[in-house]
Amino acid sequence: MGVRTADTSDKSQEKFLVKRCPECHINLPIEATRCYSCRTRVGDVDRHGKAKRKINWYSYLACIVSWGVLIFYIKWAFF
């Protein structure tokens, strides 16, 4: 009842010949991992034929470290 398996996601990938970049909406080959136009990292295709965005974990890590440094500096400088 509504359980998705790996086979159903493979079938949705086989249904499309190209995928669309989520940023610039250019058609990409189904095997593409990066858009050649805007250099966005793209993942698998969704049910509408649009590529899913991959999560940029490096940016999240850099943000968390930056906040930590700011908090440390405020505590060191003012308290």
Question: Is this model's pTM higher than 0.85 or not?
Answer: no
Distance CA 33, CA 38 (A): 12
Contact 42, 22 (CB under 8 A): yes
Average pLDDT on 71-78 reads: 96
**What pLDDT is attached to residue 50?**
87
Q: What is the spatial distance between Cα 79 and Cα 68, in angstroms, rounded to a whole number?
A: 16
Average pLDDT taken over every residue of the chain: 84
39-68: per-residue pLDDT in tens? 888 989 888 888 888 888 999 999 999 999
Instruction: Output the pLDDT for position 61.
Output: 97
Confidence at residue 55, expressed as pLDDT on a 0 to 100 scale: 86
